[in-house]
Amino acid sequence: MKRRKFISRLGASSSLFLLGSAVEKERGPVLPPFSYPQPVGFSEVLNQQGQFQLRLEIRSVEQVVPQQVLLEVKKPGAQLNRVNAYPFANKPATSGADKRSFRFSVGKAFPFIFAAWIDRPEPGTKVHLLLNGKSCEFTLETLVQEQQLSFTEDEGLQLRCNYLLDKEIGVLDPATLGMVPDRQKFSFVVMADPQGGDPATPKAHPTRMKIHNAFIWDSVNRVNELTPKPSFSLVLGDIVDNQGEVSHFEAMHAYLKDIQTPVLYAIGNHETRYQATFTPGYRMDEFDAYFGAQKAMNGMEWLLYSFDLGDWHFIVWPDPLRSDFFETHPHYFDWLARDLERNKERPTLFFQHVPSHPIGIDPLINYAESVAVKQLLLDTLARQGNVRYIFSGHVHIPIRASFKTATEYKGMRMINLPAAGYRPRGFGEEEMHGGPSQGILVVAIDGKNCGVSFKTVTEEVYAYPENLPAFDAQNYPLWLNYKWQLEASSAIKNGDFSQGLESWNTRYVYREDDNPSNRMEVRDFQGYRALYLFSSKRKYHIPGQDRLPQTINHLCQALHVGETPFLIQFDYCLEKETARQRDGWAGGFVWLEGFQGSVKLLNLAYWLGTGYSQLSDRFSDSADVPLLHYQLPTPDEQWRSTQLNWLQDYQAVGLDLSGLDRLVINLGTWHINDGNGPGFGFYVTNLKRLSGSGSSVVEGIGVQPMPDEALWRMNKYEPFVHIAGEHRYIRSTQQTDP
């Protein structure tokens, strides 16, 4: 009946949905070319308040292990306004009383960033810095001329300096776009992830793009049918598919210009090249196609902007999800804090492409912003207490999952929106109405009250409750903490799981209402009190995305390392079904990560079943620290006792591990999320820290390096084949080497 109802609701406006592969919207005029203007002369570098914004980046260019740094910023007369420290993936700095000197440590993998604001700058204003006592001096005029200056200290520490601009930041006057600024009762629309474009563009994925375009056209019709007319429509990133080609923006302009409201844009991760990187020296040309499309639609040339409408304040935040973007634009957080403070009496709505709240599936761990960015952003948003809602996209989330993951954090309601065009990810559950998830979010404002609902392309309407469940960050500490920030102890706590999961740190994992694909439970099994871990393919399996391997089902605990060598002992056993059939693309693991401060120096996995070569945390992993793989014997429904000499097993790499101060023990299961296997489950208990040394053994059997044939490597497969929007891994016929 659900399917019949879905078909019956398709009216004339859904003709493109039914004929998506054959019908395309006629292309509009070619968008005018755009080039981000580089500053000409000293005055064009100054920000809108007449200040010079200076960025400092410190990193080690030689050593993986952390180096101690003392940075002193000498005051240039009475002109230095402030200095902000942005550690990103490092431990915070300790600052002196004058807020001009900073002690911190930095390794090769992640830089430490500072931003400074200089009042009443002149071309001859001298900047004087001390890096571990070594003097670095330059004038602002020299920096403007060179765009970037670099200084290297004797021990391999590098200081890079550049200016920061704010030409891509603005405050919008809504009246210029035809909005009524003082209206107390109004509505607006948010469209997340249309992600359409021109199917004929080289390297495009034509089948899926035609499907996206059909749903986009239906979403546009849903906006235009609303009465009264919304005040504006915001496209919340991923306006286009592929890599931000101009032809895709032109095709999308032909669709979106027909929306009968002013249209605003936010930037997402598909508006630029996948390999776009941002380095010191302010270069914004990667965004030229986006700027050109935005200017053609609404006259703006901004990445970050805000505006007021009625009693409410609106902030549109950029989320390109590209390497080093926020590290090279740290002043965005300062601007945000000041904008919120200026509008602290106004209820505020915040829009970002990539969600800051946990969604509970694997891609949204690494394919999201870093812990540091999320923490800095949420701390800033919560400071004034005026942010009511945070809306995001990026996930292509089904409606059911959108409601299940919607949450409240520090008074801020956080909702991830289904897409306006893109097919939904497979979360393992049937959609609420059995039809498509695509559609639009409608937000109704009445004075200082706000109502939020989602309307599908088949005109189903779902209202989000005003009160959302509070997210308990203490229960899921890995949401806003790196593993090196977890509380550590000298002994493994609750290693026998007699106290349930107490002392073990878990992530939020999305759990299907029926037949959950991931399980983490404490059970009594064969006379043991043990942790049971299980992962399988999602049971309600429809063509969609998210066929990526799932490794999210793991928990961890941190140990102080100390100077005395120690082993890790535990008992484990396969579940019965797994013991009978264990040759699929799935397995269990004991994953060890070693840190010195915030720098990861050890990465080591012991596997049951098939291993996964890309078990990782991209926000702490370093290219200089390899992941080593070992194989644990897989018993036939019998318990085995294991002792791991993890330090000896990693010695062959040749890294200096003498400074390790923290070891993180991860226990988990993974699954390819494909195929017909029953899944993989195992039990583990009696984890202990034992003093001593010796080879890693399992009841007298030596632990061996993982055979390559037992390790699933992604580069044995084509990364993606897009079949009508579906991501699938297939065996390559061109490459068989590991």
Find out whether 318 and 237 touch, Cβ atoms under 8 Å: no
Q: Which residue has the higher pLDDT, 76 or 294?
A: 294
Average of pLDDT values for 92-119? 94
What does the alpha-carbon distance between residue 395 and residue 191 come to, in Å, rounded to a whole number?
A: 13
Q: What angle do CA 333, 336, 337 make, to 5 degrees?
A: 90
Residue 7 in this model has a pLDDT that exceeds 50: no
What is the pLDDT, as a whole number, of residue 204? Answer: 84
What is the pLDDT, as a whole number, of residue 543? Answer: 60
User: Hey, what CATH topology would domain 42-164 get?
Assistant: Immunoglobulin-like (2.60.40)
Domain formed by 516-711, architecture:
Sandwich (2.60)
Work out the percent of the chain whose per-residue pLDDT is above 90: 76
Min mean pLDDT across 9-23, 198-212, 300-314, 352-366 is at: 9-23
Residue 728 in this model has a pLDDT that exceeds 70: no
Domain formed by 184-463, architecture:
4-Layer Sandwich (3.60)
What is the pLDDT, as a whole number, of residue 574? Answer: 94
Find out whether 149 and 140 touch, Cβ atoms under 8 Å: no
Min mean pLDDT across 333-347, 397-411, 514-528, 578-592 is at: 578-592
> Considering the chain, what is the average pLDDT of its residues?
90
What is the pLDDT, as a whole number, of residue 646? Answer: 96
pLDDT tens digits, one per residue of 642-700: 999 999 999 888 888 999 999 999 999 999 888 777 899 999 999 999 998 888 999 98
Residue 718 in this model has a pLDDT that exceeds 50: no
pTM assigned to the model: 0.94
What is the pLDDT, as a whole number, of residue 206? Answer: 86
Average of pLDDT values for 220-235? 98
Cα→Cα distances 194→165, 241, 265, 386, 393, Å: 30, 8, 12, 29, 10
What is the pLDDT, as a whole number, of residue 310? Answer: 97
Nearest to 412 by CA among 458, 436, 379: 379
Residue 719 in this model has a pLDDT that exceeds 80: no
Q: Classify the C-alpha dihedral 19-21-22-26 as positive or negative.
A: positive
What is the pLDDT, as a whole number, of residue 548? Answer: 74
Work out the percent of the chain whose per-residue pLDDT is above 70: 91
Q: Which residues, listed in sequence order, are joined to residue 74 by a DSSP beta bridge?
A: 128
What does the alpha-carbon distance between residue 49 and residue 335 come to, in Å, rounded to a whole number?
A: 12
What is the pLDDT, as a whole number, of residue 722? Answer: 38
Find out whether 658 and 460 touch, Cβ atoms under 8 Å: no
pLDDT tens digits, one per residue of 180-214: 999 999 999 999 999 999 999 888 888 888 999 99
Q: Which residue has the higher pLDDT, 313 or 98?
A: 313
pLDDT tens digits, one per residue of 267-308: 999 999 999 988 888 989 999 999 999 999 999 999 999 999
Residue 424 in this model has a pLDDT that exceeds 70: yes
CA-based R_g, the chain, Å: 27
What does the alpha-carbon distance between residue 115 and residue 329 come to, in Å, rounded to a whole number?
A: 9
| Residue 205 falls in which region: left (phi positive, over 0), alpha (psi -120 to 50) or beta | beta
The pLDDT confidence band at residue 161, using thresholds 50, 70 and 90, is very high
The pLDDT confidence band at residue 720, using thresholds 50, 70 and 90, is very low
Average of pLDDT values for 76-98? 89
Neighbours of 521 (CB within 10 A): 12
What does the alpha-carbon distance between residue 276 and residue 391 come to, in Å, rounded to a whole number?
A: 25
Residue 77 in this model has a pLDDT that exceeds 70: no
Q: Which residue has the higher pLDDT, 713 or 721?
A: 713
Residue 9 in this model has a pLDDT that exceeds 70: no
Task: Map out the domains of the chain as residue ranges.
Answer: 42-164, 184-463, 516-711
Find out whether 6 and 438 touch, Cβ atoms under 8 Å: no
Residue 309 in this model has a pLDDT that exceeds 90: yes
Same fold, 184-463 and 516-711: no
Residue 713 in this model has a pLDDT that exceeds 90: no
Average of pLDDT values for 609-633? 92
Find out whether 602 and 625 touch, Cβ atoms under 8 Å: yes
Cα→Cα distances 86→52, 111, 332, 367, 693, Å: 18, 9, 12, 21, 40
What does the alpha-carbon distance between residue 598 and residue 558 come to, in Å, rounded to a whole number?
A: 13
Which class for 158: exposed (0-12), middle (13-18), buried (19 or more C-beta within 10 A)?
middle
Average of pLDDT values for 29-48? 90
